[in-house]
Amino acid sequence: MLLADEAGKFRASEKLNVSVTTKNLPQLYRFCFLMTGDATKAQEAFQNTVREAALRSARDEPPPDRLWFFRDARWRCLAVTEEGLQAEPGMMEEADISPVAPMQIAQLDPDQLGVWISAASEPQRSALALYYLDEFSLGEMLSLLEMKAPEFAILIGSGRRQFQSWLDATMPYDGEPFDAQET
């Protein structure tokens, strides 16, 4: 009877792991794309992460949670991006966050955001990818990045101002700002 109980618990935990991971697979691929800015490299990192998870599960060592997938994918993305062009460290121009930023972002092709984020140097690239993915709590992002909140705040604040400067240069918006109270 004890063996049947343990087998039932294993099947239940196995189903939970599968449902958690399959639900997050599209976001995992988006994360890989934001990190690499290249569909081929994103696919490589994504597939290798999923393959590693399957191998671990076959050895009865399944990934403990969804954060494992994103942590593993982050390191794989960093590895595949080291093979090509690399972001140069340096200061990008910054601008104050504009009230029309949501309208500017709405004009973007999704690939443009990925290319822009992937051009940032590390760890800012990872911080921005996780932030714009809008999938994680602050605590989860800090855990994935292995950093403290003040460092994360500096990276995101600076990155958002740099992004605004880039938006202003590439996606000017002449319309009126959106006012949420008017809806």
On whether both 28 and 70 belong to a single domain, the answer is yes
CATH code for the domain of 108: 1.10.10
pLDDT of residue 179: 53
d(CA 145, CA 116): 19
Q: Is 50 helix (H, G, I), strand (E, B) or coil?
A: helix
Predicted confidence band at 89 (pLDDT cuts at 50, 70, 90)? low
Q: Determine the average pLDDT of the residues in 37-64.
A: 94
Of 28, 48, 81, which residue is a domain's last? 81
CB-based burial of residue 40 (10 Å sphere; 0-12 exposed, 13-18 middle, 19+ buried)?
Answer: exposed
On whether both 13 and 60 belong to a single domain, the answer is yes
* Each residue's pLDDT tens digit, 11-45: 444 444 554 556 789 999 999 999 999 999 999 99
CB atoms within 10 A of CB 122: 16
Task: Look up residue 16 and give its two tokens.
Answer: 């939970």
Predicted confidence band at 104 (pLDDT cuts at 50, 70, 90)? confident
pLDDT of residue 175: 65
On whether both 114 and 55 belong to a single domain, the answer is no
d(CA 6, CA 129): 39
Spatial CA neighbour of 165 closest among 97, 99, 75, 102: 97
Cis peptide before 123 (omega within 30 of 0): yes
Q: Determine the average pLDDT of the residues in 146-162.
A: 94
On whether both 112 and 167 belong to a single domain, the answer is yes
Q: Determine the average pLDDT of the residues in 94-119.
A: 86
Does 171 fall in a domain? yes
* Each residue's pLDDT tens digit, 128-148: 999 989 899 999 999 999 999
d(CA 98, CA 95): 8
On whether both 57 and 24 belong to a single domain, the answer is yes
pLDDT of residue 55: 95
On whether both 122 and 158 belong to a single domain, the answer is yes
On whether both 110 and 69 belong to a single domain, the answer is no
Does 165 fall in a domain? yes
On whether both 160 and 106 belong to a single domain, the answer is yes
On whether both 113 and 62 belong to a single domain, the answer is no
Range of the domain at 106: 101-176
Of 50, 81, 112, which residue is a domain's last? 81
Does 87 fall in a domain? no
pLDDT of residue 10: 41
Spatial CA neighbour of 122 closest among 72, 75, 59: 75
81 versus 7: the higher-pLDDT residue is: 81
Does 94 fall in a domain? no
- Rounded to 5°, the CA angle 31-47-17 comes to 80
- If one counts the domains in the chain, the total is 2
146 versus 89: the higher-pLDDT residue is: 146
List the alpha helices (DSSP H) in 82-148.
Answer: 101-106, 110-118, 124-133, 138-145
Does 96 fall in a domain? no
Does 88 fall in a domain? no
pLDDT of residue 68: 94
Predicted confidence band at 109 (pLDDT cuts at 50, 70, 90)? confident
Does 50 fall in a domain? yes
Does 11 fall in a domain? yes
